[in-house]
Amino acid sequence: MSAETHPQRETHSFQAEIQQLLSLVINSLYSHQEIFLRELVSNASDALDKLRFRAITEPELLKDEPALELRIVPDADKGTLTIEDTGIGMTHDELVKNLGTIAHSGSREFLQALAQKGQKDMQLIGQFGVGFYSAYLVADRVEVVSRAAGEGSAWKWASEAHGTFTVEPAEKATRGTAITLHLKADQKEFLDEWKLRQLITQYSDYVGHPIKLQVTKQVGSGETQATESALEVVNKASALWQRAKSEVTDEQYQEFYKHLTHDYDNPLAWTHFKADGTQQFTGLLFVPKHPPFDLNSQQQRGVRLFVKRVFIMDRCEDLVPQWLRFVRGVIDSDDLPLNVSREMLQDSAVVRAIRKHVVKKSLDLLEKMAKDKPDDYRTFWESFGTVVKEGLTLETEHREKLGALVRYESSREEGLTSLADYVTRMKEGQEAIYYVYGESRKAVADSPHLEALKQRGYEVLFMTDPVDEWAAQGLREFQGKPLVSALNADLKLQSTDEQKKEKEQQSEGLKGLTDKMKDVLREDVREVRVSDRLTDSPVCLVVSEGGTPAYLERLLKERGKGMPRVKRILEVNPKHPVIEHLRGLLARDPAAPQVGEWIELLHDQALLTEGSPLSDPNRFARRMTALLTQLATNSPSATGNGIPAEQVPTPAVAPAPAQSTP
């Protein structure tokens, strides 16, 4: 941002992203210009809150103007609308920094989010702290005169949004900020007293400071009748959360949420409560419809802390656990000191009690939404399900409640299912809730690991979020049913005595082959054994105890958190034609070079089906080419007939047993 300095006036260029933003705001971002008033009033309210908090320890900041209020002054003769507050104010440097850049650090993220959402998502304005620029929806010139609390000088910022702004000394008798909008010719309706009163009531009735509107009144009568201007309080100026629930309408809750969050959409649900036990506090919590851009920030929290109606801090992370960071709202305590610090909050028994209550009320709210408004809950889960599942690894106390809230896709049908519904559909004799972990539904739906489960008619949950594997391990069981991964080596399926005996015989009959496979793959697998989970595929890799699924390994590696790979167990389907052929080939000629080739091909196939990379993809590709060439020319099968090892067909698509040597 460049600056051209004159004796009394500095000319600065906007940050590059600001110029893009102004174009978007003016031309396409908002569909309702009237939103500008809510944004500017909310900013002024924040400035008043900040001053009131600082005045707890610095009471001298209030001496030049004791009142904390907003004033809205229309001037029809000049065509201007002024929004003034007696809040914290801004210094010269703060004017340049706050009004010349987007949210100081969020400019690129803001513009990227706009691009992704088609430049039409109004909720983004407030999220990125750029509500000030909504003034240009109705004004072609904006002037800001501000005097910081405790400072003796004032400064004037002005711009017509053409790429530059000016900053120069100004006169202001008291602290605070006055924003004057020079309204466009077609926006003069916002000078109308009735219109302004209606907008304040609609959008800002719950601001906790008086909003005074300059109105014109007729005084006297007859020859002495005259017109005079006066400031009149328009809003209720009382904390909405302190009112009785019976006195607050749904529309009022929704508008308060928008004031609090700068979100354009209504919340999905909310809960309003008061605790009168050993600690006294009031709370109002909301569940948003869409996630904010910084949802995954580790510092992100959305609950404001008040003490005796005095704003203390925004995003109080000690009140809300990380896995509830999407919750928005306010907590107002009567027991905390007004000069509370972040350090004191961390060791406060009062805060721990409030936090426990916030968690309970949030879970109750989500349970009610899931029960009474399933469509809204589905919307919530698509936006915040991944965050909620983090709680399964962190909250042992509420594990069962969280388990009832989670939703997954499954092998039963398209769409989401709850664990409770899954349990009601479990087959007779089914002892566990089965799941498979992978990148997507498409990637796991036809996994060979599910073959025996499907054959038994068991439903399998598809877990496709990066957090799911940890969440399942945190939950462990639901309604007395253990959660079991279909990828795990210790998958125990109910079998009859006859089936167990048959497996023992198969294991004995394949011992020569499994020993050979273990020898060939000694660097890659921990064990080779006969499988009872495969019905159609020749082999699969399963995760041994302490191991990590392939998809999770890949995610950790991509994020620079790779760990030593624990060797898998290779399971073999004794009834598959390829395995039968390979056993026969090994029995006839234990030294046949094709045996090792086929074993490596089978291992490559297992790696591909679990989603792991191949150690030598070029070699695998050459084998596939050789196979396709052989099939195209209908040449004899490679069963000891002299075909070079590099041209042995891959077992994954080998022809039916008719081509195999008995």
* pLDDT at residue number 88: 93
| Residue 166 contacts residue 11 (beta carbons within 8 Å) | yes
Q: For residue 31, is pLDDT > 60? A: no
Q: Annotated binding residue at 129? A: yes
Distance of CA 658 to the CA centre of its chain: 54
* pLDDT at residue number 633: 77
Give the separation between CA 51 and CA 176, rounded to whole angstroms. 10
pLDDT tens digit sequence for 122-161: 334 444 345 788 898 899 999 999 999 999 999 999 999 8
Site of tokens 């399900």 = 385
Please compute Rg for the chain using Cα positions. 34
Q: Annotated binding residue at 625? A: no
User: Between 494 and 98, where is the model more confident?
Assistant: 98
Q: For residue 103, is pLDDT > 70? A: no
How many CB atoms neighbour CB 489 within 10 A?
17
Give the separation between CA 335 and CA 237, rounded to whole angstroms. 23
* pLDDT at residue number 403: 95
Q: What is the 3-state secondary structure (H, E, C) of 132-193?
A: HHHHHHCEEEEEEEEECCCCCCEEEEEECCCCEEEEEEECCCCCEEEEEEEECHHHHHHHCH
Share of the chain above pLDDT 90, in %: 42
Give the separation between CA 649 and CA 662, rounded to whole angstroms. 17
Grade residue 285 by pLDDT with cuts at 50, 70 and 90.
very high
Strand partners, 73: 82
Q: Annotated binding residue at 98? A: yes
* pLDDT at residue number 177: 96
In Å, what is the CA distance from 44 to each residue of 2, 12, 21, 50, 307?
Answer: 28, 24, 21, 10, 20
Q: Helices (DSSP H) in 314-447: which residue ranges?
A: 342-346, 349-372, 374-394, 399-405, 419-424, 441-445
Helices and strands in the chain: count of H runs, count of E runs? 21, 24
Distance of CA 601 to the CA centre of its chain: 41
What is the mean pLDDT of the segment spanning 487-515?
Answer: 84
* pLDDT at residue number 637: 46
The half-sphere exposure of 431 on its side-chain side, counting CA atoms within 13 A, is: 5
Q: Annotated binding residue at 296? A: no
* pLDDT at residue number 349: 87
| Residue 421 contacts residue 371 (beta carbons within 8 Å) | no
User: Between 660 and 477, where is the model more confident?
Assistant: 477
* pLDDT at residue number 122: 38
Question: Mean pLDDT over all residues of the chain?
Answer: 83
Grade residue 102 by pLDDT with cuts at 50, 70 and 90.
low
| Residue 486 contacts residue 453 (beta carbons within 8 Å) | yes
pLDDT tens digit sequence for 572-626: 999 999 999 888 888 888 888 778 888 888 999 899 888 888 888 888 888 778 7
Q: For residue 223, is pLDDT > 50? A: yes
Sign of the torsion formed by the C-alpha atoms of 283, 289, 291 and 292 = negative
Strand 176-183 relative to strand 226-233: parallel, antiparallel, unpaired? Answer: unpaired
Tokens of 138: 């109705």
Grade residue 206 by pLDDT with cuts at 50, 70 and 90.
confident
H or E segment and range at residue 331: strand 328-333
**Which amino acid is it at 508?**
E
Tokens of 11: 């000319």
Backbone angles phi, psi at 9, to 5 degrees: -135, 140
Q: Annotated binding residue at 90? A: yes
Q: For residue 567, is pLDDT > 50? A: yes
What is the mean pLDDT of the segment spanning 342-349?
Answer: 78
In Å, what is the CA distance from 349 to each residue of 306, 344, 355, 394?
Answer: 17, 10, 10, 20
Nearest of 361, 537, 510, 387 to residue 452 by alpha carbon = 537
pLDDT tens digit sequence for 290-341: 887 667 765 556 888 888 777 777 778 888 888 999 999 999 998 888 667 7
| Residue 453 contacts residue 533 (beta carbons within 8 Å) | yes
* All residues at 6 or more sequence positions from 203 whose CB lies less than 8 Å from its CB, including other chains: 35, 37, 38, 41, 255, 258, 259
**Which amino acid is it at 658?**
A
Q: For residue 171, is pLDDT > 90? A: yes
* pLDDT at residue number 652: 42
* All residues at 6 or more sequence positions from 243 whose CB lies less than 8 Å from its CB, including other chains: none
* All residues at 6 or more sequence positions from 84 whose CB lies less than 8 Å from its CB, including other chains: 44, 70, 71, 72, 73, 176, 177, 178, 179
Give the separation between CA 288 and CA 266, rounded to whole angstroms. 7
Q: For residue 72, is pLDDT > 90? A: yes
Backbone angles phi, psi at 346, to 5 degrees: -65, -25
Q: Annotated binding residue at 128? A: yes
What is the mean pLDDT of the segment spanning 70-80?
Answer: 96
Q: Annotated binding residue at 131? A: yes
Strand partners, 477: 482
pLDDT tens digit sequence for 414-468: 889 999 999 999 998 899 999 999 888 988 898 999 999 999 999 999 999 888 9
What is the mean pLDDT of the segment spanning 485-500?
Answer: 82
Nearest of 295, 276, 288, 355 to residue 320 by alpha carbon = 355
Tokens of 305: 């802390």
Tokens of 67: 């009142």
Q: For residue 644, is pLDDT > 50? A: no
pLDDT tens digit sequence for 357-406: 999 999 999 999 999 999 999 999 999 999 999 999 888 889 999 999 99
Q: For residue 348, is pLDDT > 80? A: yes
How many CB atoms neighbour CB 499 within 10 A?
12
**Which amino acid is it at 482?**
P
Q: Annotated binding residue at 342? A: yes
Nearest of 264, 64, 17, 90 to residue 174 by alpha carbon = 64
pLDDT tens digit sequence for 257-272: 988 887 888 999 999 9
| Residue 599 contacts residue 648 (beta carbons within 8 Å) | no
Give the separation between CA 546 and CA 348, rounded to whole angstroms. 39
Strand 310-313 relative to strand 269-276: parallel, antiparallel, unpaired? Answer: unpaired
In Å, what is the CA distance from 216 to each residue of 192, 226, 231, 233?
Answer: 11, 10, 9, 13
Q: What is the 3-state secondary structure (H, E, C) of 226-270?
A: EEEEEEEECCCCCCHHHCCHHHCCHHHHHHHHHHHHCCCCCCCEE
Q: For residue 60, is pLDDT > 80? A: yes
Tokens of 529: 């054994």
- In this structure, of 59-68, 494-503, 637-646, the range with the lowest mean pLDDT score is 637-646
Q: Annotated binding residue at 43? A: yes
Give the separation between CA 192 and CA 137, rounded to whole angstroms. 17
Q: Annotated binding residue at 546? A: no
- In this structure, of 191-205, 268-282, 558-572, the range with the lowest mean pLDDT score is 558-572
Q: Annotated binding residue at 333? A: no
Domains and CATH numbers, the chain: 18-233 (3.30.565.10), 240-391 (3.30.230.80), 407-415+432-485 (3.40.50.11260), 497-629 (1.20.120.790)
**Which amino acid is it at 515?**
D
Rounded to the nearest 5 degrees, what angle is found at the Cα of 46, between the Cα atoms of 40 and 48?
105
**Which amino acid is it at 20?**
Q
Helix axes 193-204, 35-54, angle to 10 degrees: 60
Q: Annotated binding residue at 127? A: yes
C-alpha torsion angle, residues 169, 172, 176, 178 (rounded to 10): -80
Strand runs labelled E in 521-565: 525-530, 539-542
